[in-house]
Each structure stands twice: as structure tokens, then as C-alpha cells.
Structure 1
């Protein structure tokens, strides 16, 4: 599945266009490599996503085309969350 679609379906980012912009700005890494919106992701991949003042590291657990809102959190496991300090 494309990275931008995964971010939207898993509800990490609410809109696919926003997911595409975030990826194309270089704020998403897949397995340590900066990824574009069209990068294919698979189960077991590790993502690092920068959301404003926060970095989130997570692992992909499930991939499906459609998901109910309440099941979206089962698509990934958060490995680490950290705030970015402004000096």
C-alpha cells in the first residue's frame, strides 16, 4: 500500500492530501530512509513521522483498504514518542 494511503487509512493523518504533503516534505521515514508519498509500505515496516513539535516512531501491524474508525489504532504499534525541543 502507498505510504500516503496507509497514513490516512490508519488515521495517523486525517486526509490523504495532507499525508502526501507531509511525506513529500521529508517528514516521514520508512525503515530509516526518507520516503515519498508513493513509497510502498508493508507489515513490519518501521515509520518515523514528524508531527509539528513531536516525533513518533511506530511499527506497521496491519494493512487493509478499508477500516472502521474504532479499529484504526490496531494498524500500528507506537514504539516511541518524543517532543522536539526548541532552543
Structure 2
């Protein structure tokens, strides 16, 4: 079920698009850059927090608590 969880592969695609639009000239490049930086920092910070707590990279992360969910250890798309 892809609903309600933080999936790293989906966020990877969003980050890639944001980075692309941040490099393009236009009215949204600055906003895309800001969102890119915030999302990237939040994802990495949460994954590191959970890794330090559990010793695992997880398949997905809870959208409310950030805690790991699903398979672990998991280095599929979460290792992107």
C-alpha cells in the first residue's frame, strides 16, 4: 500500500524534478530550490535518525512519526 507512508523512491523522483526546475530560469526556480533543500534535508535527517535508533534502513517511513515501516534491513530504493 503506497498510501500514507513516506516512500524514498517517490521522494527521489520529486527531488529530481525539483532540482531540474530549480536550474531552469523562470518564476518558480527559487521556490523549487527552497523546496528541494527542505525536502532533501528532512528526508536525510529522518533516515539518519531512524538508522541511529534501529540500525536499519527501512523500506518506508511513517508519515506521522517518521519511524521505519515495512521491510528492514532494506537497501532497495531506500539506498538511492
Please confirm whether the aligned pair reaches a TM-score higher than 0.5, indicating the same fold. Answer: no
User: Which is higher, the Rg of structure 1 or of structure 2?
Assistant: 2
Bigger share in strand: 1
Q: Which has the higher contact order (CA 8 A, sep 6+)?
A: 2
Bigger share in helix: 2
With the length of structure 1 as denominator, give the TM-score of the two structures.
Answer: 0.27
